[in-house]
Amino acid sequence: MSENTSDQNIIYIGRKPVMSYVLAVITYFNTPDAKEVVLKARGRAITTAVDVAEITRRRFMDKIKVTKIDIGTEEMTGEDERTRAVSTMEITLSV
Amino acid sequence: MSENTSDQNIIYIGRKPVMSYVLAVITYFNTPDAKEVVLKARGRAITTAVDVAEITRRRFMDKIKVTKIDIGTEEMTGEDERTRAVSTMEITLSV
């Protein structure tokens, strides 16, 4: 879990199976004084982030709430040196 | 555009190209008294909905703001009669 929730309780959502992120969220909220975690995703992983929030809340921890959702855009430079914009999302879960 | 924004200024995001939804949003906000539109998406289309909001706001209409984002879950019954949960998202854009 340390690799996923290092600085400021952030879990970066990528291409792993949804349940591995759900497990990371549950593990985090089972540590003492855990109050809030932020799921960060971009591009196609945005859908996964929403799935993680919904599955955790509905199936495992009905006490947690979605307290904030932000969307944004990041400029990324690909291997061909061209920059392209990718959408980002941050979902804050709190107890 | 009538097919997209019928009841209560809702635009349902599906599998069309992102720019066709961006155009629907721009067209809507160019009608008199247009104040608010809701983008609704589920499953994989959630990423597209975020792209539509971000592209419209950044490239075309810097006056519109994301005023609300909700996520949820819908139970769907497939052809095999089994129900499965799918994540949903609603993004409200306002001038």
Alpha-carbon gap, residue A55 to B85, rounded angstroms: 9
Alpha-carbon gap, residue B82 to B16, rounded angstroms: 27
Interface test with A, best of B54, B64, B67 (most A CBs within 10 A): B54
Q: Does the predicted model carry a pTM greater than 0.80? A: yes
Residue B49's closest CA among B94, B82, B92? B92
Structural domains of chain A ordered from first start: 7-94 (3.30.110.20)
Q: Do A47 and B87 touch (CB under 8 A)?
A: yes
Residue in chain A closest to B58 (alpha carbons) equals A73
Tens of pLDDT, residue by residue over B15-70, are 999 999 999 999 999 998 899 999 999 999 999 999 999 999 999 999 999 999 99
Tens of pLDDT, residue by residue over B41-53, are 999 999 999 999 9
Give A69→chain B minimum CA distance, Å. Answer: 6
Alpha-carbon gap, residue A85 to B27, rounded angstroms: 23
Residue in chain B closest to A71 (alpha carbons) equals B50
Q: Sheet containing A36-42: which strands, arranged edge to edge?
A: A10-12, A36-42, A83-94, A65-77
Instruction: Report the relative pairing of strands A65-77 and B10-12 from DSSP bridges.
Output: unpaired
- Asked if A59 contacts A36 with a C-beta cutoff of 8 angstroms, the reply is no
